[in-house]
Structures are given as structure tokens and as C-alpha cells.
Structure 1
Amino acid sequence: MRLVCHIGTPKTASTFLQNSFAANAAWLQRHGVLYPDLLSRDANHITLFYAAHEGLHDFARGHGLHSREDVLEFRRTLRKQLERQAAKAPPGTHTMLVSSENLTGNLTGRPGIANLRELFGDLFSSIEIVVYLRRQDDAILSMYGEYMRRGFNSMTFPQFVKACLGPDSPAPYLYYRRLLSLWAEVFGQEALKVRLYSRSHLAGGDILEDVMQILFGDALPDLSALARSTQDNTGLSAPALEFLRRMQPHIPFRKDGAANPERERLLARISSLPAAPRPRMAPARSQQIMQHFAPANAWVAETFFPGAPAPLFAGSSSPGQPGNLGRISLDQFAAFSAHLLG
């Protein structure tokens, strides 16, 4: 059985893909692809990250792991689950598909990737690592929205950009040369299937169809019966992000060394704040970000897209449009406060 391991990166429609995979598990199985149960509460195979991480990540505590010994034991348990899922797959199953953007978003460093490779062991005849790369200015803007939605910090957008471009970046996976080099060291460069997250580069202009092309190649079945998940991480409006930034010190993600239950109770209301007007960064900020990553992006282009037009990411994400972050009116602040209070 072949393994296709989708590793994100974050903010490249991973949640949409995972929910679509889970919703179409029976369809996939009829066509020889297994989307397994890997002891996860939802469609994201985040348990692969828990088991591969060298230490004990905060997210793992919510899964009942509280020590290094728990992690090692869970790694053994997950290996057995992979074996069970492969063994009970119906005849004709040719591919196991697993997916978690946490494998790039949070699994930093070669040791964790090596642990993942060891977890897979010799269970599969071949392993393909599928990774989608998004232009970094768009990715940073999208990640800023996620940080504000979850209450991770109260940085302004310029402060967040500075952090992302600094030595202790909260988004190290955006350094694509380093990211891909680490995965290539462990799995081999030939195992990496590197794709660009943009409509012009995706099969049919659609990421779900693009993954299906990877899974089935020339034997692509009729996709008309494939259900598309409506569950996705919908972004919030620029004023909503500024509202959440100012509120963060009062309802942070963490409190007293643990996840803040007050924030958890409000998460559904926070996520239903208005989605328009969409956040936009100033063109000069976009240029600053893309210039910072230009050398690494040039290496990616040469290594994985030889002969393709340069640069790797052309143009601008919002040409000629002024930025709109960091602004909120008193009326908007009052309306959003009333929304949270119910």
C-alpha cells in the first residue's frame, strides 16, 4: 500500500480538504483510497504530530498526553493503529491518505520529521509527501487573522510581520527552503510533491481536484459525486481583527498556565463575527515580505519547478489597494461587544 501524506502548509485550505476527505471516506474507499481513523477527534490527523513531536506540545495535553513517557507510549499506540487500519482495508485498496498541517505548522526540526518516518516504518511500499506553498504575504495575513481569532497575542499587524520575519518566527514553515530541505533529508527529495497554492497552478483551479489528481493520476475517476465540505476556517473582517486584538489582554488564549475556558466558551461567537470587509495589507508591506523571502523562493523554483517562469510567486496579492488593518469605529466596537455578550 502506498502512503500519501499531506502536510499543509497552514492556511492552504487544509481544514477544507480534511473535512472533504472525511465526508467522502466511503467514496474514496470505493476507489481504493483509505482515509483512516488515527485516534483523532476530528478529520485532521493531528495525532501524527502528537506522536512525532520530540517533546510534549500544548495541543497534546488536550488529547490526554501529559508527559514524555505518554508521548512515547502514544507513538507505539498510533503505530499499531496504522497497522490495524492497513490490515482491515478492503481488497483493492492501493493508497492510504493522511493529512495534518500541524506536520509543517508545529513539527519543527529534523528529529520530529525523523520520528514520523520511523512511525510509518516499512508499512508502505512508497511514501509521497504532499505540500502546498502559499505566497508568504498572503500566508502571513491569513495567519494574523488566525492569531487574532484564537487570542494568541495582541500584536499589531506591523508587529506581527516583524516577528514573522525575525529569528524566532511564529511561522517558521514560511521559510520554504529550510522546510523542504528538512523533509527531503528524511524522506528523500523524490518523495516531495510540491504544489503552489494558487488557482492558476491547481488542477482545475481547485485544491480538492488537485489532490485527487495526485491520488489517482491518469486513473482519475469521475469527481461529480464528490461532496465538497462546507466547513472551513472562514476569515474575519479587518475591523473584527482589530476588535479581537484590543480584547485579547482581557480574554487571552491561555490563563493560569492552561487554555482559557472563558475564551473557549466565546470561540463560536468570535468565529461568527463579520467576514467583510476582507483584511488587506498595504502594497509596500507586501513588497517588504516578498523581498525578504525572495532568495529562498528562488531556490524552491530552481529545485522543484525547473524551467518555470520566475519568480516563484509573481505579481501582488492586492495590487493598488490600500491597507485596511488596525481600524475600527466606536459603533463597530459596540456592535461586536454586544455580539460576544449575546
Structure 2
Amino acid sequence: MAVKLYLHIGHLYGSSGHIEALLCANRDVLKARGYGVCDSQLLLSGKPGSSAFFSPYLDSDPSSPSLSAVFRNLRALADAQGLQAVVLSAPNLAVPGGAKFVAALRDYFDCKLLYYFKRQDDLVVDWWMQGDFKTGEGLNAYINRLVTTHPRCHYRNALEEYLDLFGHDRMRVQFLWHKVLKGKTLAQDFWHALGLDAEGFIDAPEPAPLVSSYLGAALKESPYLFEGSDDEELIDFIRSYVEGDPVHKVNPLDVEPRRAIMQHFQPENRWLKETFFADVKMPGWNAVTDTDDRLYDVSPAGMTEIINIQLAMLKELQQDVSRIKKRMGLK
């Protein structure tokens, strides 16, 4: 009997953390319904999430026999447990070359690919937050550089490779917008994509960003605090003292930079609509309004974030002073 494999390939910035949180929270529920969830070793026993397995191999030979053996072993595990389906989430696979890398899965499973993506004006903010703010480059400057140097597509290159190898019928590409998501939420849409009724599943909130774009904008004013875009020492320090959970914030961009981004990626969005949503009514899905339509958060959450940072730094300073006084024999 054919075993289905639901391969979640991304996008990495397409609420992939939320999907893996859902898989973690509902692993037992899925098992009871005949669905196994892959872990970081491509086995069915550890914590859900397989990006760590694929990361070392993404630059290797896609025809490596060792990977075929791993896929064969995964199928054997599914058969031994009597599973009707396996869920494999590896959102780092949504890159050029990723399709050839996992093509051998077709030899052992009836594959169905799942892919979620967001608007590029949200995506670009995520890119900047990965480290460019640490260099002192502001978000608007980053956008100006991007629209003059970045190709006019980002999602398309990888998706075309998956289309060539797996075919349109085996791909489910979904836009992260409540108006097109089944049940208007990612969770319900994801369970639907797996062919399951959402009833009985545990809700898992989307993980909030550890650093908001507003904090990034403040820290970019002091690039001397970072040795480079990969330096996480200060960020880890702030996280260690901040009280409460991080909060989701609205897109920080004004109208003009948002429009510049969406115009830059217009050819790609046209291709996405024609290829995957030809029969779906999506008015305004890639539009930018003439006025700022953001809902500004004037609750204490934003102020709390700033206060927490200041308190953290004051606490560290207090500890430094205490250490100095101790060495000098002062009270």
C-alpha cells in the first residue's frame, strides 16, 4: 500500500516555526490518526522538524546513495508502524537545488509538497532582521539597495524546480492571507492540507519574533555594539533579561517603501497568481494602499520592550560596579 509523504518545503520565512510548533503539540494526535512526523535524523521518534538533517547535505551531490538509503529506511519505519502517512517539515529546502536533492523520495512515497509564502514587503523586513540592522544599515536604506541589486524574483526559482520534478498536481502552494486560508487560519489550513479534520487538534500559537523590527531600528544606531551581522552576544543578553513573551508587531514600513518592494517583485507575483491561483479570487493580495493602513500599537507592550532593555543594561552595570567595589574592598 502506498504511504503518503507530506513534504513541507517552506518557505523558511513562511510561518515555518508555527507549522513545526503545531507538529510538536500534536504529534500524539497525529500518530493516533496514522500519521508519523519526522525528526532531525529523519526518524519518527524525536522532536518534529527535519531542517537540521538536510542542512549539511544541501551543497552535496543530489544523487548521493546515502540519502536514498535514508529515505528507504524512513519508508521501512512507516511500514513497521502501520502508518498511512508521514509528515516531513524541512522549510530550508525551498531553495534552488532543493528539489533535486529530495527527488529520490518519490521512489518510496506518494509525495505531496506543501509550501506557504508571505508578501515580499513582509519578507524583506524578515531579511533585514536577520542581521543587517547590526551593520548600521537602516531598513529603508536596505530596501533601496535591495530593489536595485536583487533579482525581481525570489520564490519562483525554487518553485519552478519543484514543478519540473514533482509536477503541479503534487504541489500545494498557499499564500499566507486569511482570505484564502482554509478556515481563515494557518492551523486549519495545514490540517486540511494533510487531508485531516481539524477537530481534536491542539492549538499552538505562532512563535513571536525574538527581536522586533522596532528594536532592530533602535540597535542599528549603535553598530559598534556588534562585531558583525552574525554577532548575537548583545541580543542574547537582552533576551536573558527581558520579562514576558515577545509580541507580534505590525509591518513597520511606510507606504512608499512597501510600494517599491511590491513593484520590484511584480513579475514574480504575476507568475505566482497565474501558476497556482488562476481560479482563485484574490483582489488586493499584492496591492499597497495609498494611505498608511497599519494599526499602530500604542499599548504598553512597545514601551515595555524598551524599558526591559534599559533595565537589563542597568542591571549589568550594577553588577559591574559591585564587582569593582568588591575588588577595591569597598562596600
**Which TM-score tier does this pair reach, normalised by the shorter chain?**
0.7 to 0.9
**Rg: which structure is higher?**
2
Q: Secondary structure at the match of 2:49?
A: coil
Deviation of residue 243 (structure 1)? 2.6
Asked whether the 8 Å contact 1:38–1:78 carries over to 2, the reply is no
Q: Secondary structure at the match of 1:281?
A: coil
1:94 equivalenced with 2:84 (yes/no): yes
Q: Which moved more, 1:267-276 or 1:23-32?
A: 267-276
Structure 2 segments unaligned to the other structure (5+ residues): 297-303, 317-331
TM-score, normalisation: structure 1: 0.73
Deviation of residue 261 (structure 1)? 7.2
Equivalent position amino acid for 2:278 in 1: P
In the other structure, the counterpart of 1:64 is none
In the other structure, the counterpart of 1:266 is 237
User: CA 1:236–1:127 in 2, change beyond 3 Å: closer, same or farther?
Assistant: same
Aligned runs of 1:1-342 on 2, under 5 Å?
Answer: 1-39=3-41, 43-54=48-59, 75=67, 78-79=70-71, 82-89=74-81, 91=82, 93-104=83-94, 108-110=95-97, 112-118=98-104, 120-124=105-109, 126-147=110-131, 153-167=135-149, 175-216=154-195, 220-221=196-197, 223-230=198-205, 232-234=207-209, 236-252=211-227, 262=233, 265-266=236-237, 268-269=239-240, 275=247, 278-309=250-281, 313-316=285-288, 319-321=291-293, 336-339=309-312, 342=316
In the other structure, the counterpart of 1:60 is none
User: CA 1:186–1:160 in 2, change beyond 3 Å: closer, same or farther?
Assistant: farther
Equivalent position amino acid for 1:123 in 2: Y
Equivalent position amino acid for 2:51 in 1: I
Equivalent position amino acid for 1:250 in 2: L
Asked whether the 8 Å contact 1:203–1:209 carries over to 2, the reply is yes
Q: Can you list the C-alpha shifts for 1:146-196, whole angstroms capped at 9, x where unaligned?
A: 436xx7644211232234435457xx9x62332321221222222221111
User: CA 1:243–1:318 in 2, change beyond 3 Å: closer, same or farther?
Assistant: farther
Equivalent position amino acid for 1:116 in 2: V
Q: Can you list the C-alpha shifts for 1:82-101, whole angstroms capped at 9, x where unaligned?
A: 24532432x2x221111122
In the other structure, the counterpart of 2:326 is none
Q: RMSD between aligned alpha carbons?
A: 3.7
Query: Number of paired residues?
Result: 301
Deviation of residue 291 (structure 1)? 0.9
In the other structure, the counterpart of 1:61 is none
Deviation of residue 75 (structure 1)? 4.2
**Aligned-partner Cα distance in 2 for 1:228–1:10:** 21
**Aligned-partner Cα distance in 1 for 2:305–2:239:** 19
Deviation of residue 293 (structure 1)? 1.1
Q: Secondary structure at the match of 2:265?
A: helix
Deviation of residue 13 (structure 1)? 1.7
**Aligned-partner Cα distance in 1 for 2:69–2:137:** 39
Equivalent position amino acid for 1:2 in 2: K
**Aligned-partner Cα distance in 2 for 1:277–1:307:** 32
Deviation of residue 315 (structure 1)? 3.3
**Aligned-partner Cα distance in 2 for 1:130–1:251:** 37
Equivalent position amino acid for 2:101 in 1: N
**Aligned-partner Cα distance in 2 for 1:334–1:267:** 11
User: CA 1:128–1:332 in 2, change beyond 3 Å: closer, same or farther?
Assistant: closer
TM-score, normalisation: structure 2: 0.75
Asked whether the 8 Å contact 2:55–2:92 carries over to 1, the reply is no
User: CA 1:73–1:288 in 2, change beyond 3 Å: closer, same or farther?
Assistant: same
**Aligned-partner Cα distance in 2 for 1:81–1:51:** 19
Structure 1 segments unaligned to the other structure (5+ residues): 56-67, 325-330
- The percent of aligned pairs where both chains have the same amino acid is 17
Q: Can you list the C-alpha shifts for 1:197-231, whole angstroms capped at 9, x where unaligned?
A: 10111011111110111111xxx33x343112246
Asked whether the 8 Å contact 2:208–2:246 carries over to 1, the reply is no
Q: Can you list the C-alpha shifts for 1:244-301, whole angstroms capped at 9, x where unaligned?
A: 32345423467xxxx7573574373388696476452010111111111111211211
Q: Secondary structure at the match of 1:7?
A: strand
User: CA 1:130–1:207 in 2, change beyond 3 Å: closer, same or farther?
Assistant: same
Equivalent position amino acid for 2:85 in 1: T
User: CA 1:250–1:152 in 2, change beyond 3 Å: closer, same or farther?
Assistant: closer
